[in-house]
Homo-oligomer: A and B are copies of this chain.
Amino acid sequence: MQRYFMELSYDGRGYHGWQVQPNGASVQGCVAGALSLLLRAETEVVGAGRTDAGVHAARMVAHFDSGEAFDPAWLAAKLNRLLPPDIAVQGIRRVREGAHARFDALSRTYQYHVATAKQPFLRDRAWRVAPGLDFGRMNEAAALLREYADFTSFSKLHTDVKTNNCRVTQAEWAQEGEAEWVFTIRADRFLRNMVRAVVGTLADVGRGRLDADGFRAVIEAKDRCRAGSSAPAHGLFLVDVEYPADIYIG
């Protein structure tokens, strides 16, 4: 058996998230189905993480195994013809034995898009907010995320993870168009719902409901009830997953 990493992008609107669900289409399910058909063997697909319902991916990485000999570029082209238009395979690469899309990831990067005016082309891919958010103050508060490790305040309750610690290495807002702002956050790992809860709470800072000290107090409380409400799913994109360079072979 040879292990492969595949890079995927998808528009999350039509899916109940990455992970296979008992009711409703999932990206993982679609990809595993197409792969199993083309490789003529039931093939499991393991993603770098799970994106929630409605969340997009510009670059998701997933691994699978196959005993068949094939040209990765040929398989990627075949998959793209078989998969629906809102899921695309960007590439397939051989990786070393035991390489794991989830456990070997060094970091994940998410971006959250906010539209500060009505914009027809962003309506499915950015959170439309009332004008007047103070992104300078939001950046000041966002910088605090890098000082802390425990993000219990931004985690979904009752999840089964052993620790709520994450190492955030980037967290900043940047203006992209006249009326579009993008929040980029990178960390070794993320808790469920974390980015959307962080963005929702930063929006409270931008509206003046909370200042940087208040934001710090929310983090330090380690209490989900102290954070703001979650920003909607359709503004969120998984944009990168980083691996050690020597994981790829050939």
Q: Does A109 contact B (CB under 8 A)?
A: no
Asked if residues B86 and A119 are in contact (CB atoms below 8 Å), the reply is no
Report chain B residues within 8 Å CB of A58: 121
Q: Is A88's CB within 8 Å of the partner chain B?
A: yes
Residues of B within 8 Å of A121, CB to CB, are 9, 11, 56, 58, 125
Q: How large is the interface on A (under 10, 10 to 19, 20 to 34, 35 or more residues)?
A: 10 to 19
Q: Is A45 an interface residue (CB 8 A)?
A: no
Query: For the complex, is A85 an interface residue (Cβ under 8 Å from B)?
Result: yes
> In the complex, how many angstroms separate the beta carbon of A183 from the nearest chain B beta carbon?
18
A119–B89 CA distance with the chains assembled, in angstroms: 9
Cα A10 to Cα B122 in complex, Å, equals 11
Q: Is the CB of A123 within 8 A of B9?
A: no
A210 neighbours in B (Cβ, 8 Å): none
| Known contacts A56-B120, A121-B125, then 15 further A-B pairs from the complex at CB < 8 Å, ordered by chain A residue | A9-B119, A10-B120, A11-B121, A11-B123, A56-B121, A58-B121, A80-B118, A85-B118, A85-B120, A85-B123, A86-B120, A87-B120, A88-B119, A88-B120, A90-B117
Which residues of A are at the interface with B, using a C-beta cutoff of 8 A? 9-11, 56, 58, 80, 85-90, 117-121, 123, 125
